[in-house]
Amino acid sequence: MDFIIGSTNQAKVQATKNVIWHYFPNAKITAVEASSGVDAQPFGDEETITGAINRARQVYSNEQNVIGIGLEGGVRLLGGAMYICNWGALVLPNEHVITAGGAQIPLPSEVANEIHQGKELGPVIDSYFRAKGLRQKEGAMGMFTAGAVTRIDLFAHILHLLIGQLQYHFENGTDGN
């Protein structure tokens, strides 16, 4: 079983390799740019999960028995606060879709205000911490949890949820989707 991840973002690619090779040590994993088909800064679970599914749909292949992986980061509003929200999707060679959501933490209001003005979380987080390329490593999750859970850990957990459901699908021919 081979996998293609629809992104070259290092946090996404590293998380994918860590988890897929844990379950399938011989799997071939390729990373390619894929468009999410949604806004560069998705807003809400609906838009974020759609971005994840679109990326996975773009890279799966029923001819080569390749499973597509899509991971997407977004933000959502809950109880007056803005939370980071992340979604993942697998598209199987038979076009079956498996999805899973990630853990969420609220963002400081200074950061939320900038997102409301139309900026993307990646650059906003970089300027907030006077750093470069945080979205490829720690991410907002890592920075606002003092490194306890990084963006790689966050996507790795989503991958575990996806691969676990994939195993269940293989064993039972069904899942919750």
Ligand X SMILES: O=P(O)(O)OP(=O)(O)OP(=O)(O)OC[C@H]1O[C@@H](n2cnc3c(O)ncnc32)[C@H](O)[C@@H]1O
**Rounded CA gap, 40 and 47, in Å?**
10
Q: Is the dihedral of CA 5, 143, 111, 127 positive or negative?
A: negative
Site for ligand X in 18-77 (CB under 6 A): 40-41, 72-73
Residue span binding ligand X (CB under 6 A) among the ranges 14-22, 120-128, 158-166, 167-175: 120-128
Q: Whole-number minimum distance, CB 120 to ligand X, in Å?
A: 3
Q: Tell me if 16 sits within 8 A of 155, measured CB to CB.
A: yes
**Rounded CA gap, 89 and 48, in Å?**
11
Cβ burial of 5 (10 Å; 0-12, 13-18, 19+) is buried
Q: HSE of 78 in the Cβ direction (CA atoms, 13 Å)? A: 11
Cβ burial of 70 (10 Å; 0-12, 13-18, 19+) is buried
Q: Whole-number minimum distance, CB 76 to ligand X, in Å?
A: 12
Residue span binding ligand X (CB under 6 A) among the ranges 62-70, 102-110, 115-123, 163-171: 115-123
Interface pick for ligand X out of 84, 90, 112, 156 (rule CB under 6 A): 84
Tell me whether residue 2 or residue 120 sits nearer to ligand X (CB atom): 120
Interface pick for ligand X out of 111, 151, 157, 158 (rule CB under 6 A): 151
Position 82 contacts ligand X (CB under 6 A): no
- Chain positions contacting ligand X, by CB under 6 A: 7, 9, 12, 40-41, 72-73, 84, 120-122, 125, 134-135, 139-141, 151
